[in-house]
Structure 1
Amino acid sequence: MSIDEACALVEREMPAKRWRHTLGVVESSVALAERFGADAEKARIAAILHDVAKFWPVEKQRQAILDDGDAAGLDTLLFDKELWHSHAGAFVARRDFGLDDAESLDAIRYHTSGRPGMTKLEKIVCLADYIEPGRDFPGVDALRKLSEKSLEEALVAGFDGTLRFLIEQGKRIYPLTVLTRNDLLTQIRPGGF
């Protein structure tokens, strides 16, 4: 499937505002890939597909996760539904779009929660989702500035903001996100805190 065909199909799956967000994530992913020496085409494809299932009914997302059978996806079913679309999206990217690159699929799968041992591509798509040009939340400019020098430092700051928000809202925290943050800190400061 060509990039143009994939774009046309993904655009149909979401409102216009989310499609603009997706295009911003594509732009930011490609820029980060070029800055940090990752595969820009893989970043482009994963970014195009990252929210393909975001606006599906939750039961359709749940069914995609069940059909996939991936343990990490099944685990998200015990937590906030906001996590589900990434795992459903990875399944759909493989099943419906023919994406068979494991790293790109994982970049889609973990763009909301992260995971310990994230690849560079996974970090790029996750961070691009935070900093794309259409995002406007307290601290986004600081994240963009951090993203100029370090994927890891910017992601820690992004996850810190997410964790604060979840705590303030009285929501449960997905443990993988905490483990991801801790893993990123050990990459920034190996052997010492």
Structure 2
Amino acid sequence: MHPILLELSEQLKLTDNIFEDSINLLNKYNKIIVAKHSKCVATEAERLAYIFGENHKDARIAGILHDISAIIPNDKKIEVAEFLNIDILSEEKAFPPIIHQKLSKEIAKTIFGITDERILSAICCHTTLKSNPTRFEMILFIADKLEWDQEGTPPYLINVQEGLKQSLENGVFAFIKYLYENQSNLEVVHPWLADAYNYLSVLLGSELNIT
């Protein structure tokens, strides 16, 4: 186990309340904003799970743990990922913060004992999504975007909300389309994001395509 995770494992006294444990951990590492964001994402993921017929308890767990790797400094994320033999893409090396989704999956699994592959997979792609995503994965993905951790109202909020009135896929596509139309604001275009966009564009009949 990497020294950072070993320290985490030794310091964390797990209880039977994964929500309190995860928030306490984030607060311990002074990730106050992330802790607040995670609470909101957990609530929103649970709400969307009710609407779209997925397991709301599992959605809440995925939401509370999705950014748990915030405890790992950005300048250590690639090092930890390499130690854990995580597949690292060139885009992730170029912009290390984006690999936090894969690291959060590993922490959820090794430290918090999450074994449900649905939850782990959703956490692993909650930032970028991926091709042929499950509905559970899309729920966590869009909950994360609806409850963003910046000030003000998300510029894509209305379009996503309108899309969700049609279907989960339309809501997700509305957000990714916004990113595509504002690519200049992105540090990198993650291949999984491009895959998700292209998959949904075909599914929903859009003519747009990105690489």
TM-score, length-scaled by structure 2: 0.79
Structure 2 portions without partners, runs of 5+:
1-15
Match of 1:175 in 2: 191
Report the alpha carbon displacement of residue 22 of structure 1 after superposing the two structures with TM: 1.2
Which of 66, 69, 94 is the matching residue for 2:85? Answer: 69
When the two chains are superposed, the root-mean-square deviation of aligned CA atoms in Å is 2.3
- CA shift digits 1:123-148 (9 cap, x unpaired): 00000011128762212122123223
> Residues 87, 173 of structure 1: CA spacing in aligned structure 2 closer, same or farther, 3 A cutoff?
same
Number of matched pairs:
188
TM-fit CA distance, 1:50: 0.5
* 1:132 and 2:133 are equivalent in the alignment: no
Question: Is 2:170 aligned against 1:156?
Answer: no
Q: 1:31 to 1:125 in 2, by over 3 A?
A: same
Higher relative contact order (Cα pairs below 8 Å, separated by 6+ residues): 1
Q: Could you tell me whether the CA contact under 8 Å between 2:159 and 2:175 is conserved in 1?
A: no
Q: Deviations over 1:58-87 (max 9, x none)?
A: 24322332233233xx12533422311111
Higher radius of gyration, 1 or 2: 2
Give the one of 94, 114, 129 matched to 1:99. Answer: 114
CA shift for structure 1 position 57: 1.0
Identity %: 22
CA-to-partner distance for each residue in 1:115-174, whole Å, 9 max, x for gaps?
112111110000001112876221212212322331211111111222333x22374311
Could you list the runs of 5+ residues in structure 1 that have no partner in the other structure? none
Q: Which residue of 1 aligns with 2:74?
A: 58
Shift of 1:111: 0.5
Runs of 4+ in 1 over 6 A off after TM superposition: none
**d(CA) in 2 for partners of 1:133 and 1:170?**
16
